[in-house]
């Protein structure tokens, strides 16, 4: 899904670049106080995990390549702004070190594959989980839905960038969205598996810990 | 399933010795990103500009003595996008010129970043960005991500060995169901080890940055100034005179 240099027009690159830089600025300001010492390993491991997951790519006919995003995962585990920064870092390193995604398309890539799934995903997740009964099933089910939606909507936005803001024909829409409706299933499985494991063992590190279902406590044990 | 990026290969090539490897990371970052920006903003059909920018990249790659096979293999990230550009002649007005222009821009962007990352070890690249005033929080995330990528790779290898010892074989499709729990376990194991690594770093004097005196300081030499001035002059000439 990474847009390379030249696949969006210069005005699109400038507009998305400025918007992306502004969003990163907001995220930096919002997370300055959020990142405490205990969270650093979680942030680093999540970033490394998403980076590694994105290395496995599937070429798509007629255009681009598909891979997992991890944006919803980052948002649910780390919170919207720190999650978006982790995604930003992944795309900057991919562009600089692996030539994956263009330098001038970095703004577009960060907006659609970073801020949309991490920030949008986080608030969608909060809204839905908040409205549902507090059970493990509701929490993980919403995680799966959020992950699937985040990658499909990101693909839609990518198509907007390369068609409306770039030279590709409108056929990019059905291809991008269709393929990612399938890839989204993988995204949902992986995201749910990781969120389930973290909520079982390290719920104290999750940004969405206030929404977690109550843990089953042993009878007679003092509540902690 | 497609290719992977081959990080280990990248690190050994980036650790090489050549005039380009020895350049200050700051001038390489500024110079090569500037070159990509110039190429991307060049209008359709300005063949001389694209040719001269590509020529400059070839000269750099040759001066860096990069193994041609390494460069070609890493350039395959652009193949899907070249295929996308290849349909332009059938869909857009003046499509052939547009397709070649898009293809040239993609190739220039990919080649420039391959040269940057193949001639600059990752810690040096980070040092360069820090000197260029990149936000500290972002650099912190990057450095931990890079560190933990190795932790993650190591955990994968250990889990693979353990799984094979239990009779797993990748060729049996019904064993694929163990993939989901495997990924979750991998995450938790990497997290546990990541926390131990972080505590070990703290106990050795890490306080948000590498202690002073452990990194080779960045110094702008005459060759760095020549490189940047030469590249800038060439880009200005290409962009202003040639179209």
Q: How many domains does chain A have?
A: 1
pLDDT digits (tens, 9 = 90+) for A104-136: 899 999 999 999 999 999 999 999 999 999 999
* B193 has a pLDDT exceeding 60: yes
- Residue A216: inside a domain, yes or no? no
**CB A45, CB B187: distance < 8 Å:** yes
* Mean pLDDT calculated for residue range B225-229: 91
Cβ atoms within 10 Å of A209's Cβ, excluding its own? 12
State the pLDDT at residue B243.
64
Q: Identify all chain A residues contacting B61, using CB atoms and an 8 Å cutoff.
A: none
Q: Among all residues of chain B, which has the CA nearest to that of A186? A: B180
- Residue A2: inside a domain, yes or no? no
* B8 has a pLDDT exceeding 60: no
Cα–Cα distance for residue pair A178/A168, rounded to 1 Å: 17
CB distance A5–B36 less than 8 Å? yes
Cα–Cα distance for residue pair B213/B70, rounded to 1 Å: 34
Q: Which of A37, A23, A85, A188 is nearest to B207 (CA)?
A: A37
State the pLDDT at residue B158.
86
Cα–Cα distance for residue pair A191/A196, rounded to 1 Å: 8
State the pLDDT at residue A47.
92
How close are the terminal C-alpha atoms of chain A, in Å?
45
* Mean pLDDT calculated for residue range B59-75: 89
Cα–Cα distance for residue pair A13/A93, rounded to 1 Å: 18
- Residue A86: inside a domain, yes or no? yes
pLDDT digits (tens, 9 = 90+) for B86-141: 777 777 677 788 888 888 988 998 899 889 989 998 888 888 998 898 888 888 88
* B175 has a pLDDT exceeding 60: no
Q: Which of A41, A93, A169 sits opposite B194 (nearest CB)?
A: A41
- Could you say which residues of chain A have pLDDT below 50? 62, 220-221, 223-224
State the pLDDT at residue A39.
82
State the pLDDT at residue B12.
77
State the pLDDT at residue B37.
86
Q: Radius of gyration over alpha carbons of chain A, in Å?
A: 18
- Residues 109..168 of A with a Cβ closer than 8 Å to B: which? 162, 167-168
- Region of B155 on the Ramachandran plot (φ > 0 left; ψ -120 to 50 alpha; else beta): alpha
Q: Which of A116, A97, A190 is nearest to A156 (CA)?
A: A116
- Residue A214: inside a domain, yes or no? no
- Residue A4: inside a domain, yes or no? no
State the pLDDT at residue A161.
92
Q: Which of A73, A93, A68, A71 is nearest to A84 (CA)?
A: A71
State the pLDDT at residue B4.
41
Q: Which of A119, A17, A136 is nearest to A76 (CA)?
A: A119
For chain B, give the mean pLDDT: 82
- Residue A223: inside a domain, yes or no? no
Interface test with B, best of A34, A97, A110, A144 (most B CBs within 10 A): A97
Q: Identify all chain B residues contacting A32, using CB atoms and an 8 Å cutoff.
A: 137
pLDDT digits (tens, 9 = 90+) for A186-219: 889 889 999 999 999 889 889 999 999 887 655 5
State the pLDDT at residue B1.
31
Q: Which of A5, A44, A60 sits opposite B105 (nearest CB)?
A: A5
- Residue A164: inside a domain, yes or no? yes
Token readout for B60 is 């750099």
What is the ipTM for the molecules in this complex?
0.83
**CB A214, CB A134: distance < 8 Å:** yes
* B150 has a pLDDT exceeding 90: no
Confidence band, pLDDT 50/70/90 cuts, at residue B6:
very low
* B170 has a pLDDT exceeding 70: no
* Mean pLDDT calculated for residue range B8-28: 84
Enclosing domain of residue A118? 10-209
CATH of the domain at A135: 1.10.1760.20
**φ and ψ of A170, to 5 deg:** -65, -15
* B173 has a pLDDT exceeding 70: no
CB distance B74–A99 less than 8 Å? yes
Interface test with A, best of B3, B5, B86 (most A CBs within 10 A): B5
Checking A200-205 for CB contacts under 8 A at 24+ apart, the result is A201/B188, A202/A42, A202/B188, A202/B191, A205/A38, A205/A39, A205/A42, A205/A77, A205/B191
The secondary structure of residue A132, as a DSSP letter, is S
CB within 8 Å of B227: residues ≥ 6 apart: B23, B27, B31
- Residue A49: inside a domain, yes or no? yes
CB distance B40–A44 less than 8 Å? no
How close are the terminal C-alpha atoms of chain B, in Å?
41
Interface test with B, best of A13, A45, A200, A205 (most B CBs within 10 A): A45
Strand pairing class (A65-66; A58-59): antiparallel
CB distance A6–B1 less than 8 Å? no
State the pLDDT at residue B2.
35
CB distance A99–B113 less than 8 Å? yes
């Amino acid at each position: 899904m990474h847009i390379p240099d030249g696949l969006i027009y210069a005005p699109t690159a400038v507009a998305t670049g400025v918007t992306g830089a502004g969003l990163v600025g907001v995220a930096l300001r919002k997370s300055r106080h959020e990142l405490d010492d205990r969270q650093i390993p979680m942030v680093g491991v999540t970033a490394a995990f998403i980076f590694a997951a994105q290395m496995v790519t599937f070429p798509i006919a007629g255009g681009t390549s598909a891979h997992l995003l991890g944006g919803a995962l980052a948002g649910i585990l780390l919170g919207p702004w720190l999650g978006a920064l982790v995604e930003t870092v992944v795309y900057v390193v991919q562009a600089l070190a692996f030539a994956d995604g263009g330098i001038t398309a970095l703004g577009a890539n960060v907006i659609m594959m970073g801020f949309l799934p991490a920030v949008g995903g986080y608030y969608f997740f909060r809204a839905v989980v908040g409205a549902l009964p507090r059970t493990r099933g509701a929490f993980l089910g919403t995680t799966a839905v959020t992950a699937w939606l985040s990658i499909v909507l990101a693909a839609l936005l990518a198509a907007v960038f390369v068609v409306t803001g770039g030279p590709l024909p409108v056929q990019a829409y059905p291809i991008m969205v269709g393929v990612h409706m399938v890839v989204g299933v993988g995204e949902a499985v992986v995201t749910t598996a990781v969120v389930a494991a973290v909520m079982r063992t390290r719920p104290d590190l999750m940004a969405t810990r206030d929404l977690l279902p109550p843990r089953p406590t042993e009878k007679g044990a003092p509540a902690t | 399933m497609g290719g992977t990026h081959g990080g280990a290969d990248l690190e050994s090539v980036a650790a090489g010795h050549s005039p380009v490897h020895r350049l200050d990371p700051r001038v390489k970052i500024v110079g090569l990103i500037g070159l990509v920006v110039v190429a991307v903003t060049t209008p359709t059909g300005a063949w001389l500009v694209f040719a001269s920018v590509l020529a400059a990249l070839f000269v750099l790659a040759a001066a860096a003595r990069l193994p041609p096979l390494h460069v070609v293999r890493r350039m395959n990230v652009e193949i899907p996008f070249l295929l996308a550009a290849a349909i332009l002649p059938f869909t857009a007005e003046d499509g052939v010129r547009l397709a070649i222009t898009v293809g040239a821009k993609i190739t220039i962007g990919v080649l420039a970043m391959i040269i940057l990352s193949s001639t600059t070890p990752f810690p040096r690249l980070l040092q360069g960005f820090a000197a260029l005033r990149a936000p500290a929080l972002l650099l912190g995330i990057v450095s931990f991500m890079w560190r933990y990528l190795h932790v993650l790779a190591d955990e994968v290898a250990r889990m693979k060995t353990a799984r094979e010892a239990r009779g797993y074989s990748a060729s049996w499709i019904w064993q694929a169901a163990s993939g989901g729990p495997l990924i979750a376990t991998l995450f938790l194991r990497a997290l546990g080890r990541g926390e131990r690594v972080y505590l070990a770093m703290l106990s050795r004097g890490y306080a948000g940055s590498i202690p002073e005196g452990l990194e080779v300081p960045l110094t702008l030499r005459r060759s760095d100034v020549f490189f940047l001035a030469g590249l800038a002059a060439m880009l200005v000439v290409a962009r202003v005179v040639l179209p």
